[in-house]
Chains A and B, each alone.
Chain A
Amino acid sequence: MSASLAKGINAFKEVLDAPIASFFSSCVRCGLCAEACLFYTETGEAKYTPIHKLEPLRRVWQQEYTLLGGLGKLLGLSKPVTDAELAEWEPLVYDSCTLCGRCSMICPVGNDITYMIRKMREGMAASGHAPEDMIDATTRAITIGSPMGIKWPAVLAQIKHVQADTGIEVPVEREGADYLVLMSSMEIINFPEYLSALSRIFKQAGVSWTLAQDAFEATNSGIQIGASDLAREIVSRIVVAAERLKVKCVISPECGHAFTALRWEGPNLMGRPFGFEVKHILEVLDELHAAGKLKTRGKDQRPLTYHDPCQIARRGGVVEQPRRLLSEVAADFREMSDAGVMNWCCGGGGGVSANSRADPLRLQAFKVKKRQIEATGVQTLITACANCRIVIEEGLEHYHMKVEVIGLTELLAGYLVEEDTP
């Protein structure tokens, strides 16, 4: 056994816990999870069945943690996990799983397959079987501070643009502010309107907020690739900044996995609960709206639909907030089929969009989103995840669909009642 394989197997053994043992014990091989996975439904290829993606991990569990499996291993009757097998499984575990959690919602015996895939990636990464692009993105996140290689001067440049456009000061390193605002690389590079919209909304609402020079990036490649030590390093930057600036709450931006990384995995990665709250931007906007601090005027007359980012809705519990906010500014809001916690993934979550090898498969899987959008008859789609947004835009372009994609924060800002509005 090679040293890297041994590391991978050890990582598999470390992640195996009672929930995973119960999940593997319960699987009746019904295959229904395939029907919930867009990589299977859009390709018809059996290998994309979610539970099948876990086969090496299942065998390690069986051989190491069950009496019969152990006996089988002792007598040489069981098939050991090999480097070649993990290499074969790499595209199944990374390219064809967005950690969207849909399979976990439908498994009749209750298997949280997504939880297991996330854990399995720890062993895949440790054994050297992770996609090159994701390794590069994680390396950049650790060495530079952002998976897309963005440094503070780029953020500063955007701040200057926003300040020039809005006339509103963007606070930086303001100790004692209520909120620490994070952004995703995608927002910094592709969607600068997010920061602009946020500045205007927060000014109107009288929110005390700040950015931090050393913790502006919310995304976390570590949890996507499955390297908890690196994920911890990335999360710790935010925790250190939040504690240094003594903020009450950290706002996760319009990014799905960043919310999962900080809100749900963060305290577990750090090994302690946070002394501050973590909220998704939609939660904050909804609270401001409920408190009467976010006032809008007029409604968008275009037919609109909303794409629920998986990590925010199904894996994050933020489902009603965007709908309440949309009801304030959308005159003709149309729900997609399967909206809310059963929504279909855009196809680019869980690091898939960062993995160029998976591009053709991702675009094939996008067909389900295409059908959903077409059924609503809209030409404007709202979402709350910059990664979903870029993935959907690519899919729309690929299929020659004329649909505009807008971030919800940006949409709200467009109807904001501002101080100088007559």
Chain B
Amino acid sequence: MSHLDLLTFARGNALNWSLMLCVAGVVLRLFEIFGLGREADLAKPRAVSPGSGWRTMITRSLPAEGMLKRDPVTYIGGYVFHFGLLVAIFFFAPHIEFFRSLTSLVWPGLPTALIDASVVAAMVALGVLLAHRLNNPVKRMLSGIGDYVAWAATLLPLLTGYLAYHHLLLEYTLMLALHLFSIELLLVLLPFTKLFHSFSLFISRWYNGDAFASKGVAS
């Protein structure tokens, strides 16, 4: 199989299957969550509340007062990584073209130098966060094999994308195929690892905000 054949497979059947598995997995996981149900709260909520589930869904993206200084590495590393990743996914012109082919939606991209910097920043942040996970006793205790698999699965698309764009290490077509395969691996793993938080955190934040809001507290 030539590099081009590999790339064609990565862009064709492999992508289709991984997308299907991802969607099916996400639907399954959502069913697993909502299928458990939630009993109605019979306690009369406070009439006036500064909080709500929808509010917490947004506000929980910011650290609570005083928390940033307690663990700046996690917060800053987390922000840099997520921001860099999202910029690379959604504002790199070839990615926008891919989304256009899927959804017909199109939006302006960002200069490639900025994308490049975002990817590097995201990879550096991932490295720092891994070192922090290995050195911090709490994070090390909580971490299992799944956490490290998720870390690697997240790094690979960034790394292969960067190498492909800069024509480094391997021949471009092969590296691009590997970039696509790494994304496909990420898609398949997403519903079944902690990467699923990209969906479920909106649910958990909503439940949290709703529970606190009924008591008159903005969480």
Q: How far is the CB of B172 from chain A (nearest CB, A)?
A: 34
Chain A neighbourhood of B174, CB < 8 A: none
The stretch among A16-24, A144-152, A154-162, A382-390 that forms the contact with chain B is A16-24
Interface centre among B37, B205, B217, by most A CB within 10 Å?
Answer: B217
Q: Which residue of chain A is the closest to B62 with respect to CB atoms?
A: A108
Asked if A175 is at the interface of the complex by the 8 Å CB criterion, the answer is no
Chain B neighbourhood of A213, CB < 8 A: none
Judging by beta carbons under 8 Å apart, are B209 and A110 in contact?
A: yes
Known A26-B201, A26-B204; judge A315-B142 contact (CB<8 A): no
Judging by beta carbons under 8 Å apart, are A31 and B209 in contact?
A: no
B34 in complex: contacting residue of A18, A272, A273, A319, CB < 8 Å: A18
Interface residues of A in 285-325 (CB under 8 A from B): 314-319
Asked if B166 is at the interface of the complex by the 8 Å CB criterion, the answer is no
Asked if B105 is at the interface of the complex by the 8 Å CB criterion, the answer is no
B141 in complex: contacting residue of A30, A52, A319, CB < 8 Å: A52
Interface centre among A30, A115, A271, A337, by most B CB within 10 Å?
Answer: A30
B 40-65 binary contact with A (CB < 8 Å = 1; else 0): 01111010010000001100110111
Asked if A125 is at the interface of the complex by the 8 Å CB criterion, the answer is no
Asked if B36 is at the interface of the complex by the 8 Å CB criterion, the answer is yes
Judging by beta carbons under 8 Å apart, are A315 and B194 in contact?
A: no
Judging by beta carbons under 8 Å apart, are B216 and A27 in contact?
A: no
Chain B neighbourhood of A19, CB < 8 A: 38, 204, 207, 211
Known A110-B60, A263-B43, A268-B39; judge A35-B200 contact (CB<8 A): no
Interface residues of A in 1-46 (CB under 8 A from B): 16-23, 25-32, 34-36, 40, 46
Q: How far is the CB of B65 from chain A (nearest CB, A)?
A: 6
- Tell me how many residues of A have a C-beta within 8 Å of chain B: 61
Chain A neighbourhood of B141, CB < 8 A: 46-47, 49, 52
Judging by beta carbons under 8 Å apart, are B217 and A110 in contact?
A: no
Judging by beta carbons under 8 Å apart, are B142 and A268 in contact?
A: no
Judging by beta carbons under 8 Å apart, are A112 and B211 in contact?
A: yes
Judging by beta carbons under 8 Å apart, are A18 and B36 in contact?
A: yes
Judging by beta carbons under 8 Å apart, are A46 and B138 in contact?
A: yes
Chain B neighbourhood of A342, CB < 8 A: 64-66
Known A17-B37, A35-B70; judge A264-B217 contact (CB<8 A): no
Interface centre among A26, A265, A270, A316, by most B CB within 10 Å?
Answer: A26
Judging by beta carbons under 8 Å apart, are A317 and B43 in contact?
A: no
**In whole angstroms, how far apart are the Cα atoms of A337 and B141 in the complex?**
30
Judging by beta carbons under 8 Å apart, are A29 and B147 in contact?
A: yes
Judging by beta carbons under 8 Å apart, are A25 and B196 in contact?
A: yes
Judging by beta carbons under 8 Å apart, are B43 and A268 in contact?
A: yes
Judging by beta carbons under 8 Å apart, are B139 and A317 in contact?
A: no
Q: How far is the CB of A340 from chain B (nearest CB, A)?
A: 9
Asked if B29 is at the interface of the complex by the 8 Å CB criterion, the answer is yes
Q: How far is the CB of A309 from chain B (nearest CB, A)?
A: 14
Asked if A411 is at the interface of the complex by the 8 Å CB criterion, the answer is no
B204 in complex: contacting residue of A23, A40, A314, A341, CB < 8 Å: A23
Q: How far is the CB of A16 from chain B (nearest CB, A)?
A: 6
Judging by beta carbons under 8 Å apart, are A110 and B205 in contact?
A: yes
Known A27-B197, A30-B78; judge A68-B192 contact (CB<8 A): yes
Asked if A51 is at the interface of the complex by the 8 Å CB criterion, the answer is yes
**In whole angstroms, how far apart are the Cα atoms of A107 and B61 in the complex?**
10
Chain A neighbourhood of B49, CB < 8 A: 317
Asked if B112 is at the interface of the complex by the 8 Å CB criterion, the answer is no
Asked if B181 is at the interface of the complex by the 8 Å CB criterion, the answer is no
**In whole angstroms, how far apart are the Cα atoms of A17 and B39 in the complex?**
8
Interface residues of B in 13-46 (CB under 8 A from A): 28-29, 32-39, 41-44, 46
Asked if B120 is at the interface of the complex by the 8 Å CB criterion, the answer is no
Known A29-B142, A35-B71, A264-B215; judge A21-B36 contact (CB<8 A): yes
Chain A neighbourhood of B163, CB < 8 A: none
Interface residues of B in 142-189 (CB under 8 A from A): 142-144, 147
B42 in complex: contacting residue of A17, A109, A273, A341, CB < 8 Å: A273
Asked if B113 is at the interface of the complex by the 8 Å CB criterion, the answer is no
Chain A neighbourhood of B137, CB < 8 A: 46
**In whole angstroms, how far apart are the Cα atoms of A341 and B64 in the complex?**
11
Chain A neighbourhood of B218, CB < 8 A: 341
Judging by beta carbons under 8 Å apart, are A109 and B217 in contact?
A: no
Chain A neighbourhood of B136, CB < 8 A: 31
**In whole angstroms, how far apart are the Cα atoms of A47 and B140 in the complex?**
11
A 316-360 binary contact with B (CB < 8 Å = 1; else 0): 111100000000000000000110011000000000000000000
B197 in complex: contacting residue of A109, A264, A265, CB < 8 Å: A109
Known A19-B204, A109-B205; judge A268-B194 contact (CB<8 A): no
23 contacts between A and B (CB under 8 A): A18-B203, A19-B204, A19-B207, A22-B33, A25-B32, A25-B204, A26-B196, A27-B194, A32-B74, A66-B32, A105-B212, A108-B201, A110-B60, A110-B205, A110-B207, A112-B211, A263-B43, A266-B43, A271-B42, A272-B42, A317-B216, A319-B217, A341-B218
Residues of B that sit less than 8 Å from A by CB = 28-29, 32-39, 41-44, 46, 49, 56-57, 60-61, 63-67, 70-71, 74, 78, 136-144, 147, 192, 194, 196-197, 200-201, 203-209, 211-212, 215-219
Q: Would you list the 8 A-B pairs with minimal beta carbon distance, nearest first?
A: A317-B216, A110-B205, A31-B138, A267-B42, A110-B208, A25-B200, A29-B142, A19-B207
Residues of A that sit less than 8 Å from B by CB = 16-23, 25-32, 34-36, 40, 46-47, 49, 51-52, 65-68, 104-112, 115, 263-268, 270-274, 277, 314-319, 337-338, 341-342
